[in-house]
Structure 1
């Protein structure tokens, strides 16, 4: 009986050791099942004392004991997330305590990454494996299963891969054509719901390596298309050859200065920081990598180079990365009812004064309003097409009388770019309540309903109203200006000044 008891403990601890990698920093995708755990062998066993296991989260310098919820469940040496959310990012630690002693068993930094809505994986949540052609190889799915019968699906470049269902993807003989991005998705059933856990691997298959090896930075100088306010991660990887070089160093340099190191706590990191140098041994080749993280791209970041330098064996290689706006001149083209169709002054006032006053003067957007910004004398149809093409969004101020010869062309041109070319996103502002949408093209029904915001006159006027919050959410990302807090525009009096607003204008307050 005693032998069986100790054998059971040994088997359990051996399995747990295999399931609990001792990584200090862990990345996980939002919306996926995940767990933190520690090997039971780390517990201080005492047969005479009772002890308790407590899990804690540290965020913004404050420690808080984790209480079980329907979503976060602790089971002895496991802390499960059903599923992980962005707010779960932070530092975690687990303690063992009794009446006499209290000590920390293990610590982690958990980074919950935002899911890429347009792809089956996140570029920051993958590993790279480099192999030579002609050899055999297996891609392994990280095992976060809780049941042996959990289903597994493999994808290559986000397409179902040959109906493979095993925990390993075996290649008897690799060829260059096998190169690609492979994603393994585990489907886990829990309390009547299906959760997923994914693992993505970039497989690079190269021809047989030449006898002579050149130390170099992988990739050439590049320009990255971006937008102001967008988060960017710059990757620099150096190839060291077929043996590790201890003196090799890789570092970033920009604006005549070295970036600070990332702390591992996202909210505490400086605007631009570089991660620790990582060394990797892929196949029979050695690489070093260093990432540069930019929280929010600023206008000034577009005016200098980001330089990555590789130094080893008295050899220096340099790679230059430039950030460049994505070619759009305007944040939005504004289409509205023209005076030749209606004598309504309210819509013209909204389109030509209220909308630009708040979006441009308070939030830093650049709008294209045809009557205001386009010089007369050109070909109207060609001009409209050109300016919509230069805009990231098409704002349509919709009313029952909206359609005219020019307005319908603006709408149809925008719909073509949104639904066919996928170059421009449309935002519909329902300026007046509309009961019947039959006067609009049928293709408009293909747009997501969430891209419609409703103007409610006086209720929507304050800068902190739900209308402006929803509209800004649909617009390209822009840094918030300080003068939007604590004041609202006095639009009713026709003034461009500001006056105190009793509710405040912080966007956490929504009217």
Structure 2
């Protein structure tokens, strides 16, 4: 199959009368009627003569033939679920075989979402449409209708809406009062039983026209510095605007070929695989994101084009990522409190003494600490950019006092390099307990993996505590040094004390 067929986001009507949307990743609610389908024209393009059509589901990295039952039925170019269940989540494919060769026609990732028993919809299974007051508009029901005789009911905020029973809900003139969550429910009769399918739309009506935005991938074409044998995770994030288009999709290509899907089962993933497509909403802005995992970078990977393609509303954006050998000078740039209104000596000592002593003297890392390594009198802004550029990681020591202009500038510079340029990975150390992260830039939540390592004073002091183990896990790989010191008895730790403990650091992964 050519790539062009995959990329054309079109809809056609088959001989069965059902519409077949071409999409690679699909969300559906448990307990509803649903089907997978492929374009009949595809088989004509690739097959001549007699052939067999088989549907497969990926099970622990192996393709297993789907056996038909009263619930799962194959009909021409459709695989129907009467109804779909949570266990149906997974990767599907349809393969044509003429006895001599097998040809994969199309692949899908099906995500079956749990039904919200206290509501008529699932908040993770809706689209948002933002419109201006005073204009006309129509909300469209699901494309899964299989007969003109199907019963259709519309609900607004889970209450029956004006006895509407049409496939489209028409508004001649929108007002702010029309804002709400609309759910269309289709009842479908099959073999003497009644099934249903729903579609939920969040309609936001504004007095003024919403800002016109352009579909775009976050960041431009880029080169990522890496090392042979190192693990790399490539992130592609697309900004969609102020609503989530139904046809939004995001793909990775490797030299114009589709990568394999990640199984999510340790030890079973291929050397390069693509994770599931995810949707994000930050405030009133919508994003999509997808990760590409490279277990161990090879020389061959250095010559490959890793291309991310974003498609929505009949528009396409691309981003090309290339790998090149690492030329970083430092393992990490350390950013901490410094010049805030009420600095603490403990935090300063942690940043300037404890952190470098353990990471540099015991584990062989090379840190860049601004107060220690930058000559006075130089241009601060230029130096920050330069030293973060030269560092593989950016370590942020967080506390409620982390609000100085320069500290925030360092964080925003690091976020830009992590999120847009993909040159530096960020590590967050929570030095003092933080209950509210609102003082941090909102874009921090767009990082593919935002990890917080918590310092617990006495419990974290020992070199073998969970704090240092978790921190080293997030740092670049280094060979273990044999002369590791087990404690800090030579340090003047003040109120922290010098008695080492072995456990006590929590590790939280925040996405």
User: TM class by shorter-chain length?
Assistant: 0.3 to 0.5
Question: What TM-score, normalized to structure 1?
Answer: 0.43
Between structure 1 and structure 2, the one with the greater Rg is: 1
Q: TM-score, normalised by structure 2?
A: 0.43
